[in-house]
C-alpha cells in the first residue's frame, strides 16, 4: 500500500451499503478500521472477531462535537487516521420548484457540510505525518443533473468542487484525494437513503414524476455490484498514483463520458463568443 503496511481507515456511514461493504473488506484485509454510524449499535457487529483492530463509534456528521470526539478517540486508539472515507450521505428527489426548504438544507448539512467538517477534523493529523488519503463518495450526479435530482446533484457537484480544490492544496503535503462517482448499485439506497417528494404540479409529471417512479422501482435491479465497487476503491487507494476521479459502473462511465463530450463540444462551439468577452489585445 502506498500509505503504510497497516493503515487505519475511518469510514462514515457504515450501517449499510458501500460503507458496510468497505468496512468488511478493510478488516478482512487485516487492516484497522474505525466504523461509524449515527447509532454505533448498528455497526457493532462489524467489529466481531476483529476487536483488536476495529472500533465502532456513534457519529452524526452534522454534529461537530460528534466529529471531534470520534476523531480524537480514533487517533487515541490507533495513533493515526490514514484513510478517511466520507461515505455518509443520502438522496432527496423533487422538482426544483417544489423542493422543501428544510429538506434541502438538511441534505446539504449531511452531504456537503458534514463531509467538509470531517475533512477539516482529520487533516491536521495527516498534515503532521505528511501522508494520508481522503476518499469522498460522490455520484454520477456530481457530473450529470438528472430531472428530479437537482438538489441531490447540487450537493454532489459541491463535493466534486471541494475535492478538486483540496487535492491541489494537499498534494505537496503527501496527501491524496479521490472523488468516487458511482452509478446505480444494488444497495438498499433507494429504500433506506432516498427521500422523494413526488410532483404535485402536472407540468412535471412526465419528467420529474417519471424519473422518481423509475428510481423507486429500480432497487434490486441495478447492474452495479457493491462488493466489486469497494474492491475498486481499495485498489485506487493502494495505487502509487491514485485517480482524482474514480467512476464506478458502466452506466456512470457512459453517462459521465457523454456529459464531458457534450460539454466540451458546446464550449468549443461558443469559443469565439467566449473570447469576445475579453478586452482587445491592444487594451491589455
Q: Does residue 152 carry a catalytic annotation?
A: yes
Q: Is 50 a catalytic residue?
A: no
The per-residue DSSP string of 77-144 comes to HHS---EEEE----EEEB-TTT--HHHHHHHHIIIIIIHHHHHHHHHHHHHHHT-EEEEEE--GGGT-
Catalytic annotation, pick one of 139, 156, 167, 204 = 156
**Of 92, 132, 84, residue with least CA distance to 111:** 92
Contact indicator for 195, 92 with CB cutoff of 8 Å = yes
Q: Which member of 15, 94, 95, 138 is catalytic?
A: 138
Q: Is 261 a catalytic residue?
A: no
The residue from 50, 151, 152, 204 that is catalytic is 152
In angstroms, how far apart are the furthest CA atoms of the chain? 73
* CA angle centred on 153, ends 123 and 229, rounded to 5°: 65
**C-alpha cell of residue 4:** 503504510
Closest by Cα among 152, 25, 153, 26 to 81: 26
Contacts of 70 (CB under 8 A, 6+ apart): 10, 34, 36, 57, 58, 59
Give catalytic residue positions.
138, 152, 156
Amino acid at each position: 500500500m502506498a500509505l503504510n503496511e497497516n493503515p487505519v481507515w475511518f469510514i462514515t456511514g457504515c450501517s449499510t451499503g458501500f460503507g458496510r461493504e468497505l468496512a468488511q473488506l478493510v478488516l478482512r484485509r487485516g487492516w484497522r478500521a474505525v466504523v461509524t454510524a449515527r447509532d454505533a449499535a448498528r455497526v457493532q457487529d462489524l467489529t466481531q472477531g476483529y476487536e483488536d483492530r476495529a472500533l465502532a463509534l456513534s457519529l452524526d456528521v452534522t454534529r461537530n462535537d460528534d466529529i471531534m470526539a470520534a476523531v480524537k478517540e480514533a487517533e487515541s486508539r490507533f495513533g493515526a487516521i490514514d484513510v478517511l472515507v466520507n461515505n455518509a450521505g443520502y438522496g432527496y428527489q423533487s422538482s426544483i420548484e417544489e423542493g422543501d426548504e428544510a429538506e434541502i438544507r438538511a441534505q446539504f448539512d449531511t452531504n456537503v457540510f458534514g463531509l467538509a467538517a470531517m475533512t477539516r477534523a482529520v487533516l491536521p493529523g495527516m498534515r503532521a505525518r505528511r501522508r494520508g488519503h481522503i476518499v469522498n463518495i460522490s455520484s454520477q450526479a456530481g457530473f450529470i443533473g438528472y430531472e428530479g435530482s437537482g438538489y441531490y446533484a447540487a450537493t454532489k457537484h459541491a463535493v466534486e468542487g471541494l475535492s478538486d480544490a483540496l487535492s491541489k492544496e494537499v498534494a505537496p503535503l503527501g496527501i491524496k484525494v479521490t472523488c468516487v462517482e458511482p452509478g446505480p448499485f444494488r444497495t438498499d439506497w433507494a429504500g433506506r437513503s432516498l427521500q422523494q417528494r413526488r410532483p404535485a404540479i402536472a407540468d412535471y409529471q412526465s419528467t420529474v414524476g417519471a424519473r422518481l417512479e423509475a428510481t423507486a422501482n429500480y432497487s434490486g435491479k441495478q447492474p452495479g455490484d457493491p462488493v466489486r465497487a469497494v474492491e475498486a476503491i481499495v485498489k485506487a487507494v493502494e495505487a502509487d498514483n491514485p485517480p482524482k476521479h474514480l467512476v464506478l459502473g458502466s452506466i456512470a462511465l457512459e453517462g459521465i463520458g457523454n456529459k464531458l463530450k457534450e460539454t466540451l463540444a458546446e464550449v468549443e462551439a461558443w469559443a469565439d463568443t467566449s473570447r469576445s468577452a475579453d478586452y482587445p489585445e491592444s487594451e491589455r
